[in-house]
């Protein structure tokens, strides 16, 4: 680690050790989980040798594959819907300053700070009140709603960083509103939309609390299934599925980050 001696923090003795403990605390459990997913032993916590058999077991388990399928369906559909809604919201918010614009912007982002359990209970209550039968569709609707702010923020940020004069330049050069949007705004906004969409996808894929509340029979997603498995005991299969999900998540977050940073 390179040390910046001008930073007064480094004069605090033990800062180095604290830093290492901090990172160990963050990442050691994950590393252990990945390591144990390759454990040959049926008892997940006792190491007896290297094996990839549990990945095979996971892929052979129809319930797991079905849960993974549900997760992908939910994540894909709600990502599309949420990203579309977020894009329209961001465009609408950028169109002009109007009274209460800041308030509405805050309302769009508010679900990010509402405790998830509250959203979960409220969503369940809502579905019951309107008589919506719990199933995969309720999960998709719920996911769409809570994914909107995650998709909205990167799109909004991208739009805000865009020179207003670009839209005016398009209009100046004989592009009507639709042409200006299609030829200038959308191509420039695209990285923000992709980035927001990927974030929404990963948030949906990962969600447990809300899904647990609103998933009806046959709508079990992967996190909900893992939770069910873990109640029986930690098995190497759980470790293997978790590792697979981790890989998918890292992939998407990295992509989202890279695309978000893309300048043009």
Interface contacts to other proteins, rule CB under 8 A: 163, 165-166, 168-176, 179, 183-184, 187-188, 263-264
Q: Which is nearer to other proteins, 69 or 187 (CB)?
A: 187
In the complex, what is the shortest distance from the CB of residue 166 to other proteins, in angstroms, rounded to a whole number? 5
Contacts of residue 119, defined as CB under 8 A and 6 or more positions apart, other chains included, come to 111, 146, 210
CA dihedral 68, 137, 88, 258 (to 10 degrees): -10
Q: How far is CA 45 from CA 38, 42, 48, 64, in A?
A: 11, 9, 10, 22
In the complex, what is the shortest distance from the CB of residue 85 to other proteins, in angstroms, rounded to a whole number? 25
Q: Which is nearer to other proteins, 115 or 161 (CB)?
A: 161
In the complex, what is the shortest distance from the CB of residue 63 to other proteins, in angstroms, rounded to a whole number? 46
**What gap in Å lies between CA 262 and CA 264, rounded to an integer?**
6
Q: Which is nearer to other proteins, 94 or 203 (CB)?
A: 94
Residue 109 contacts residue 149 (beta carbons within 8 Å): yes
Q: Which is nearer to other proteins, 41 or 176 (CB)?
A: 176
In the complex, what is the shortest distance from the CB of residue 42 to other proteins, in angstroms, rounded to a whole number? 56
In the complex, what is the shortest distance from the CB of residue 33 to other proteins, in angstroms, rounded to a whole number? 42
Q: Which is nearer to other proteins, 133 or 183 (CB)?
A: 183
Residue 140 contacts residue 221 (beta carbons within 8 Å): no
Crossing angle of the two packed helices 236-261 and 53-60, in degrees rounded to 10: 90
Residue 119 contacts residue 206 (beta carbons within 8 Å): no
Q: Which is nearer to other proteins, 103 or 161 (CB)?
A: 161
Q: Please identify which residue in the block is written with the tokens 């991208």.
A: 158
In the complex, what is the shortest distance from the CB of residue 254 to other proteins, in angstroms, rounded to a whole number? 23
**What gap in Å lies between CA 111 and CA 70, rounded to an integer?**
24
Cα angle: 123, vertex 151, 69; to 5 degrees = 65
């Amino acid at each position: 680690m390179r040390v910046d001696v001008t930073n007064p923090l480094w004069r605090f003795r033990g800062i180095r050790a604290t830093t290492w403990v901090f990172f160990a605390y963050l990442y050691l459990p994950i590393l252990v989980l990945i390591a144990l997913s390759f454990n040959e032993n049926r008892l997940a916590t006792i190491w007896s040798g290297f094996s990839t058999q549990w990945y095979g077991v996971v892929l052979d388990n129809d319930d797991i594959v079905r849960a993974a399928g549900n997760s992908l369906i939910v994540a894909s559909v709600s990502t599309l819907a949420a990203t579309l809604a977020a894009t329209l919201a961001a465009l609408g918010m950028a169109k002009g300053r109007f009274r209460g614009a800041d308030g509405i912007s805050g309302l769009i982002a508010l679900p990010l700070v509402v405790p998830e359990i509250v959203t979960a209970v409220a969503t369940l209550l809502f579905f019951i009140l309107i008589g919506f039968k719990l199933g995969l569709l309720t999960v998709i609707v719920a996911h769409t709603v809570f994914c909107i702010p995650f998709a909205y923020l990167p799109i909004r940020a991208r739009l805000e960083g865009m020179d207003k004069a670009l839209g005016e330049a398009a209009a100046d050069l004989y592009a009507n509103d639709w042409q200006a949007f299609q030829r200038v705004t959308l191509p420039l906004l695209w990285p923000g939309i992709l980035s927001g969409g990927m974030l929404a996808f990963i948030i949906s894929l990962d969600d447990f609390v809300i899904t647990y509340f609103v998933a009806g029979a046959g709508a079990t997603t992967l996190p909900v299934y893992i939770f069910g498995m873990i109640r029986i005991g930690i098995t190497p299969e759980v470790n293997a599925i978790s590792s697979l999900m981790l890989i998918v998540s890292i992939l998407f977050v990295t992509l989202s980050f890279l695309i978000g940073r893309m300048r043009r």
